Amino acid sequence: MFKGVKEHFTDRLYVESATLTEYERFIQLELKISPVIMDPFDARSPREALELVSNLLGCSLTSSEVATYLDKNDELKHLREQFMIPQVAELPSTDLKLVDGTKECIYFAGNSLGLQPKMAKTYIEEELDKWAKTGVHGHVHGTRPWTWAENTIEELMANIVGAKGAEVALMNGLTVNLHLLLLSFYKPTAKRHKVLIEDKAFPSDHYAVESQIQFRGYDPKRSMLIMKPRPGEEVLRTEDILETIDKEGDSIAVVLFSGVQYYTGQLFDMAAITKAGQQKYVNSGAGGLAGAFIHEKNAHSVKPALLGWWGHDLTTRFQMDNKMDLLPGIGGYRLSNQPVLLVCPLQASLEVKYIWTGHPLEEE
């Protein structure tokens, strides 16, 4: 019943926001439920969430009451404990005449660089210690043997993106993975040569697509199909994306969208837009390992264009006979020995997310 009320209430919000407070009073009086009756994270954009709460409280969007309400009702607030939060005085360019330097800062830079998970340092120290004490034996010993360190955490990433372990590889930076995947999936022809991408895609995604088109001898002006939100709107509507795919489908070779828009926070409807995608590297640190995904149905039909020894089946990789025994699917796209010191912070970060949800990202 609570859910029904909540949905009804939220539906009304879109059409009748002016009567919101009145409706909330009705719910409290008639149904005698707690005043916390909706989850602002149900909103379709951060702006809408702020509007929901400011309407509910009857105060302005920028009022501190809105922030306090959001903090108080945030189901994920306990996760704060698991990160290193910088103190105000430690941040560069802090004017200590204006602020209390002993306070923890309020941190908004989630996409550009998330906070350090507390376990990152412990895991890195474990590997440095193992290296110091056992040298080459570290390749096959310890909790994170360097020869298959990334394999020990792939399941965690797979759980977050709702994939199977074998469909995910943790390797390289995101742009490198994008290029490796585009080399296999972007097969332009005179008729079908376009890449559908959003206008404000992350710059590296934009450059990757532009350079791949040029690399194949096509003209980005003709082959980049760039989507903008409707005039006066900030985010793309799923219906518009689907309509473009429908209209331009015959000329589109690849549809390239991130899962979450890095600037607006828009969660794209991946299932509706595309069946394959990529996942960024959560809080693994600057230049951290990225993930890549290929659906298992393509495991044997799509091959990597470029090879390295880490794409070789692990059981025979070290026979060093120069006869490639390629792993199927995304595993075969691995090129280099994984940097174990980057596996450590990614592990710390994925463990936080894992405790947090245990469910695929989209459900959150």
Ligand X SMILES: Cc1ncc(COP(=O)(O)O)c(C=O)c1O
Q: Which residue has the tokens 């404000």?
A: 200
Interface with ligand X, residue 202, by CB under 6 A:
yes
Among 205, 206, 283, 294, binds ligand X (CB under 6 A): 205
CB of 37 to ligand X, least distance (A): 35
Taking alpha carbons only, the member of 152, 111, 163, 145 closest to residue 297 is 163
Closest CB to ligand X among residues 313, 362: 362
Closest contact distance (angstroms) between CB of 363 and ligand X is: 21
Contact region for ligand X (CB under 6 A) — 42-50, 64-72, 120-128, 169-177?
A: 169-177
Non-local (6+) Cβ contacts of 304 within 8 A are 180, 183, 184, 311, 326, 332, 333
The yes or no reply on residue 274 touching ligand X (CB under 6 A) is: no
Residue 145 or 173: which CB sits closer to ligand X? 173
- 139 binds ligand X, rule: CB under 6 A: no
Supply the minimum distance, in Å, between the C-beta of residue 202 and ligand X. Answer: 3
Establish if 262 lies at the interface with ligand X (CB under 6 A). Answer: yes
Judged by CB under 6 A, the stretch of 37-45, 147-155, 199-207, 264-272 that binds ligand X is 199-207
Burial of residue 313 (CB within 10 Å: 0-12, 13-18, 19+) is middle
197 lies in the site for ligand X, by CB under 6 A: no
Query: What are the beta bridge partners of residue 227?
Result: 198
Asked if 258 is part of the footprint of ligand X (rule: CB under 6 A), the reply reads: yes
Q: Tokens for 228, please give them.
A: 């903008």
Angle at 147 between CA 304 and CA 160, to 5 degrees: 65
Nearer to ligand X, 46 or 173 (CB): 173
The interface mask with ligand X, positions 72-111, x = CB under 6 A, is: ---------------------------------------x
Contact indicator for 180, 249 with CB cutoff of 8 Å: no
Contact by Cβ (8 Å): 268, 201: no
Q: Which stretch binds ligand X (CB under 6 A): 39-47, 200-208, 237-245, 314-322?
A: 200-208
* List 49, 209, 213, 290, residue binding ligand X (CB under 6 A): 290
Sheet with 194-198: strands ordered across: 224-227, 194-198, 252-255
CA distance 21 to 56: 6
- DSSP 8-class letter at 324: -
The size of the interface with ligand X (CB under 6 A), counted in residues, is 11
Q: Is 335 exposed, middle or buried (0-12, 13-18, 19+ CB in 10 A)?
A: middle
Please state the three-class secondary structure of 326-356 as a single string: ECCHHHHHCCCCCCHHHHHHHHHHHHHHHHH
174 contributes a contact to ligand X by CB under 6 A: yes
Nearer to ligand X, 131 or 185 (CB): 185
**Cβ-proximal residues to 169 (8 Å cutoff; 6+ apart), any chain:** 150, 154, 291, 292, 330, 331, 333, 334
- Minimum distance between the CB of residue 45 and ligand X, rounded to whole angstroms? 18
In the complex, least distance from residue 276 CB atom to ligand X, rounded to whole angstroms: 16
CB of 170 to ligand X, least distance (A): 12
Per CB under 6 A, does 211 bind ligand X? no
Exactly one of 165, 173, 265, 328 binds ligand X (CB under 6 A); that residue is: 173
Q: Applying CB under 6 A, does 149 fall inside the site for ligand X?
A: no
Q: Which of residues 52-71 bind ligand X (CB under 6 A)?
A: none
Q: Are 290 and 172 in contact (CB under 8 A)?
A: yes
CA 342/CA 203 separation, integer angstroms: 23
Contact footprint for ligand X (CB under 6 A): 111, 173-175, 202, 204-205, 258, 262, 280, 290
